[in-house]
Amino acid sequence: MTGIVALYIFMLAAFTGYEIIAKVPVILHTPLMSGSNFVHGIVLVGAMVALGGAVTPLEKIIGFIGVLLAAGNAVGGYVVTERMLEMFKSSGVKKSGGGH
Amino acid sequence: MDSAMDTPGIFSARLLIDISYFVTACLFILGLKRMSSPVTARSGIVWAGAGMAVATLVSFLYPGMSNYELIIAAIVLGTIVAWWSGKKVAMTDMPQMIALYNGMGGGAAAAIAAVELYRAAYANAAGAPVHHSTVVMSLAVVGGIIGAISFSGSLIAWAKLQGVINKTLRFGGQKFVNGALFLGSLAVGVIVVLHHGADPLHVSLIFGLALLFGIAMTLPIGGADMPVVISLYNALTGLAVAFEGFVLDNAAMIIAGTVVGSAGTLLTQLMAKAMNRSLANVLFSDFGSGGGASTTAVTGSMKSIEASDVGVMMAFAQKVIVVPGYGMAVAQAQHKVWEMCQLLIERGVQVKFAIHPVAGRMPGHMNVLLAEAGVPYDLISDLDEINAEFETADVALIIGANDVVNPVARTDKSSPIYGMPILNADKAKNVIVIKRGQGAGFSGIENALFFLDNTRMLYGDGQKAAAELVNAIKAVG
């Protein structure tokens, strides 16, 4: 990928992120922050490549820490976001249930 | 297995990886989009999760990879610990948990930068030919610095919200020291870029100074401002991931990191705006020090009331507005409060919940906590919707909230919270404040609302008080 194409990707992705968040109601700010926290867990694939290419012991140690932390970011981010959003799903059901 | 990687296999593995990353990027963006509406939110995280799973699996196919056993061991270990801690954490502690996972992401981005930079440094020291271009080296350094700051800063934010660190460290010339740490890290980074990696000591120095800066920058920030800071670090981690994505030529990392970087920046601004503070003000001012000496003396006295009287008052009211705060969630009172509200609704009382943008510990946190208790979200109103309604409310029940209902934010220009949008609970005919004791709020500022003529204090633990109110309303019959 050439530098200028990478720059275009950067620009378009930045506008995409802005647009996605701009219309979000306040009630979803915390789950969404948690969700975006999960999304940057994609650093895991970079950490895997870094450790996969590590040769010296120092590279291996740092790479191992990187993969460990990245996996924690991705998995932890998913679990807490999913737990939070799970609570929002049955609101309609509870509303009709409360009126019996 | 090796034969699949070699000769024609390299092409197909690479193509499969590229296509999978493309699919992953689409799933991330669609997932985030779905997360921006309560109806589709849950499916959004599942979509994004599927994208992550695809990207992780195909990354094992990278040509020329080794150390598979180390990679798998690290993933398994990280997964087990994060899964267990994520399932276990209480909803009230969610903000610091997000900070912790976010710090891990920043640390991982810094680790990628460290591997690349140490490799370049050792190659340079051994006189090997230059491997990376100046642009790539610069991106590795900047991403590494940002990731390291996000890592150490997020850990401090976690420690503060968790109560591990409860002191706010401030000393004279602190800003000068912080500035020196940051500029020092950057300066060594420039040397490393210009000298194609310089030597390993320089690389260590970049990360050492950046880590120290993250700590030093976060320590002086008060607990009330921490959500804004966590959101900022979230955006920074995204940016660091994007930069390291450039270094590794990895489009999935560039796109996902950049989307989070810009979305996180906007979210940070929205949060700061909800507190009527600029981001610079949050990061560099001494707000939240707990002094509160600048407030003018509040006149009048606090008048207490019994739960049975409050029960009668609410049972015969037309409209009750509940203003919950983080204190309610800490006392685990939200279930009892909702039980109380259901009793009132059965009696024909109109009940609404008024949520301040920064109720709980970050925007939307209180909505999550109420949703956990089963409160339907159409009973929950935000500040703009509800503020005009307080004048028509018979009772405003404040439980665990403090600064967000303090009328001095409207009236007292000398107050540190002057200008912060507040819920106008003081305009209700009767204001009932459930409070454990007579202390000041999270910001340390005395609350003028407690001293008004139409305010009565119901002292006690939030959960116990709510239970008493349930019994009192039942007793009315």
Report which of residues B253 and B285 the model is more confident about: B253
Please list the rounded mean pLDDT of every run of 10 residues in chain A (100 residues): 83 91 76 91 96 94 97 96 77 39
β-pairing, B455-459 vs B430-435, is parallel
Residue B206 pLDDT > 50: yes
The residue ranges of DSSP E strands in B277-422, in sequence order, are 319-324, 350-355, 380-382, 395-399
How many Å lie between the alpha carbon of B386 and the closest alpha carbon of chain A? 14
**In which band, very low, low, confident or very high, does the pLDDT at B94 lie, cut at 50, 70 and 90?**
confident
Structure ipTM: 0.89
Is B355's CB within 8 Å of A26's CB?
Answer: yes
The band of B294, judged by pLDDT with boundaries at 50, 70 and 90, is very low
Is residue B11's pLDDT more than 70?
no
What pLDDT, on a 0 to 100 scale, did the predictor assign at position B225?
A: 79
- Catalytically annotated residue among B225, B382, B403, B412: B403
CB–CB of B367 and A34 under 8 A?
A: no
Cβ-Cβ contacts under 8 Å, A49 against chain B: 59, 62, 65, 248, 250
Cβ atoms of B273 and B426 closer than 8 Å: no
Confidence (pLDDT) at B79: 96
Round the average pLDDT of chain B to a whole number and report it: 86
Lowest mean pLDDT, pick from B156-170, B209-223, B389-403:
B156-170
Q: State whether residue B320 is helix, strand or coil.
A: strand
Residue B269 has pLDDT above 60, yes or no: yes
pLDDT at B293: 42
Nearest Cα residue in chain B from A50: B112
Residue B37 DSSP code = S
Which pLDDT does position A1 carry in this prediction? 63
Q: What is the pLDDT of residue B285?
A: 65
Looking up tokens 């920074």 gives B236
Mean of pLDDT values over B71-96: 93
**Residues of B in Cβ contact (< 8 Å) with A37:** 98, 101-102, 105, 234, 237, 260
Q: What is the pLDDT of residue B6?
A: 47
B337-358: average pLDDT: 90
Q: Of B10, B18, B14, nearest to B55 (Cα)?
A: B18
pLDDT, tens digit (0-9, with 9 covering 90-100), for B26-76: 999 999 988 888 778 889 999 999 999 999 999 999 888 999 999 999 999
Nearest to B83 by CA among A71, A2, A28, A85: A71
B18 is catalytic: no
CA distance B383 to chain A (A): 10
Residue B377 region by backbone torsions, left for phi larger than 0, else alpha for psi between -120 and 50, else beta:
alpha
Q: pLDDT band for position B462 (50/70/90)? A: confident
What's the rounded mean pLDDT across residues B324-338? Answer: 86
Lowest mean pLDDT among B125-139, B212-226, B244-258, B441-455: B441-455
Where are the strands (E) in B272-414, listed by range? 319-324, 350-355, 380-382, 395-399
Q: Is A5 part of the contact surface with chain B (CB cutoff 8 Å)?
A: no
Bridge partners (DSSP) listed for residue B397:
B322, B432
pLDDT at residue B289 greater than cutoff 80: no
| B53 token code pair | 């799973």
The predicted structure's pLDDT at residue B438: 67
Task: Write down the pLDDT at residue B358.
Answer: 73
The b-or-e profile of A53-83 (16+ CB within 10 A means b, else e) is bbeeeebbbbbbbbbbbbbbbbbbbbbbbbb
Q: Quick one: which of B109, B84, B427 has its CA closest to B239? A: B109
pLDDT grade for B440, boundaries at 50, 70 and 90: low
The span from the CA of B457 to the CA of B460, in Å, is: 9
pLDDT at A96: 38
- Gap between the Cα atoms of B167 and B173, Å rounded: 18
Q: Which of B82, B107, B251 sits opposite A75 (nearest CB)?
A: B82
**Cβ proximity of B420 and B443 under 8 Å:** no
Judging contacts by C-beta atoms under 8 Å, the chain B residues touching residue A74 are 52, 56, 82
Q: Which amino acid is at B426?
A: D
- Of B149, B135, B155, nearest to B206 by C-alpha is B149
Phi, psi of B462 (to 5 degrees): -55, -45
Give me the residue from A48, A59, A79 closest to B86, CB to CB.
A79
In chain B, residues with a C-beta closer than 8 Å to the C-beta of A18 are 262-263, 266
Would you call A43 and B378 a contact, using CB atoms and an 8 Å cutoff?
Answer: no
| % of chain B beyond a pLDDT of 90 | 48
For residues B102-125, average pLDDT: 94
**DSSP per-residue codes, B243-288:** HHHHHHT-HHHHHHHHHHHHHHHHHHHHHHHHTT--HHHHHHS-TT
- pTM of structure: 0.81
pLDDT surpassing 60 at residue B299 = yes
pLDDT score of B148 more than 60:
yes
- pLDDT tops 90 at residue B254: yes
Which is more confidently placed, B292 or B458?
B458
State whether residue B397 is helix, strand or coil: strand
